[in-house]
Structure formats: structure tokens, C-alpha cells
Amino acid sequence: MKQPIFADNQVYHVYNRGVEKRNIFLDDQDRYRFIHDLFEFNDETPAANIYYKFNKLVGFQSYEVKPRKIEREPRKTLINILAFCLMPNHFHLLLQQRKENGIVKFMQKLGTGYTMSFNQKYERSGSLFQGTYKAILVEKDSHFIHLPYYIHLNSLDIKFPEWREREIKNYKEAMDFLENYHWSSFPDYIGKKNFPSVTQRKILLEFFGGPEQYKKDTIKWLKEMNLEGIKDLILE
């Protein structure tokens, strides 16, 4: 697939997976690392460090990215990260470009930084991802409406793969799984703090009518969805 020419303020679905479809996240530490990188590399300034910690909040298991305290300029973000979902061997991002070449710069830093960390941890070398990430412009309002639901529902493949055929028997169990799946921006979208500093949710939440309405509409979309209508944006 030919990469689009990225334009400022436009929204893109970005996807990549492991080489030979191998898993790129082997444990929770890997997933934390990648989510930290989503935050840290979304900056015009070169990443200042690779050290990080996650501050666990009381109650719902929630984590906030906390870079090491060092002197640095205020962040100048390259993109808005509207939504994300991590799966064992791939990831989905919904990105809006803020600065010229912002997506290209961000994805280069993300891919290189995470690969270096992964290879060092597991004492391996070589490529981690199957190639250059795939990206497609979200041009139609109808696509913009449906794509966030699709990205967030991806995690159901782990426990409820039948969702794609609209054959889920217990929607409450499926929604409980989504709400407690940490490696997605879905909890933050329905008002449960998860990784709130990573995503810029105001645009979509205003569009969808707020956290409660987004949760209700997710259930409705899960029951009535038609993946055929967004097949050109799925990228899998």
C-alpha cells in the first residue's frame, strides 16, 4: 500500500504488526513501554530519556505516564493521538497531524525506539515490524464515525473473536472486557482513567456526545455494525 501524503489537521488510521506476524508485546512491561513511547515521542524535541514509571491510581487500575524529572522545554506535540489499541502482534492508532511531517517523524521515533528497547530486552537483533507502517486517510464523515469503535473493539479478538460476525451471546461480558482492557484508549473514553495523558480525546468526545454516550453507542455499534462499510480503512 502506498503511503498517503500526510496533511496537517487530517486524521489517519495507522497500523503495523510484527514481522512474520510474530508477537511484538510479550508481557505487560512491553505494553507499558510502548504506551510510554506514544507519549514520549509525541514531541518535536528529541526524547530526553528512556526511563519512565507508571503511577498507579487508587481504585480502578489506572496508570499515568510519568517521565523522569529532568530539565526540558515544554512539549511541542507533533500529532494528536485520538485513539489506540494494542494487540499481541499488532497495533492500531488514530492520529491527527499537527505539524508538517508530524506523523512521519512520530512513527519513525516510535518504531525505532520501541524496536531498540525490545531487542535489548530480549537479546535479539533485526527488524521487529513487518515493514513500514500502513496508513490511510479518513476522508468521509461516515468513516470518522465508525473507525474509533472499530479500533477499540479490536481487543475483543482476544476473548470474543465472534464479535466480527455479530455473534456475541453476552454483551455485558464483552463490554466488561473492553472496560478493563488496559492496552486501549477505550477506558479513558468512557471516563475511567487509564492512560489519560497519552490521548487527546476532546475532539471525539465532543463529536460523540461525551463518555456516557460513547459507551452506549459502542454497545449499539457492536450489535449493529457493518464492517463492509469501512473495509478500506481496516488495514489488516
72-114 pLDDT, tens digit each: 678 899 999 999 999 999 999 999 999 999 999 999 999 999 9
| Band (150; pLDDT cuts 50, 70, 90) | very high
Contact by Cβ (8 Å): 4, 75: no
Q: pLDDT tier at 144 (50, 70, 90 boundaries)?
A: confident
Q: Yes or no: say if 223 and 166 are a contact pair by the CB < 8 Å rule.
A: yes
**How far is 206 from 204, CA to CA, in rounded Å?**
5
| pLDDT (0 to 100) of residue 60 | 36
Q: Over 90: is that where the pLDDT of 208 sits? A: yes
Q: How confident is the model at residue 32 (pLDDT cuts 50, 70, 90)?
A: very high
Q: How many helices (H) and strands (E) does the chain have?
A: 8, 6
Q: How far apart are CA 121 and CA 219, in angstroms?
A: 39
With bands split at pLDDT 50, 70 and 90, how would you rate the model's confidence at 47? low
- Higher-pLDDT residue of 149 and 65 is 149
pLDDT in the model for residue 226: 78
pLDDT for residue 164: 92
Give the 3-state secondary structure of residue 194.
coil
C-alpha cell at 67: 517521565
Q: What percent of the chain has pLDDT over 70?
A: 87
* pLDDT reported for residue 141: 81
Report pLDDT for 142: 76
- In this prediction, residue 53 has a pLDDT band, given cuts at 50, 70 and 90, of very low
Full set of structural domains in the chain with CATH: 1-236 (3.30.70.1290)
> What pLDDT shows up at residue 153?
97
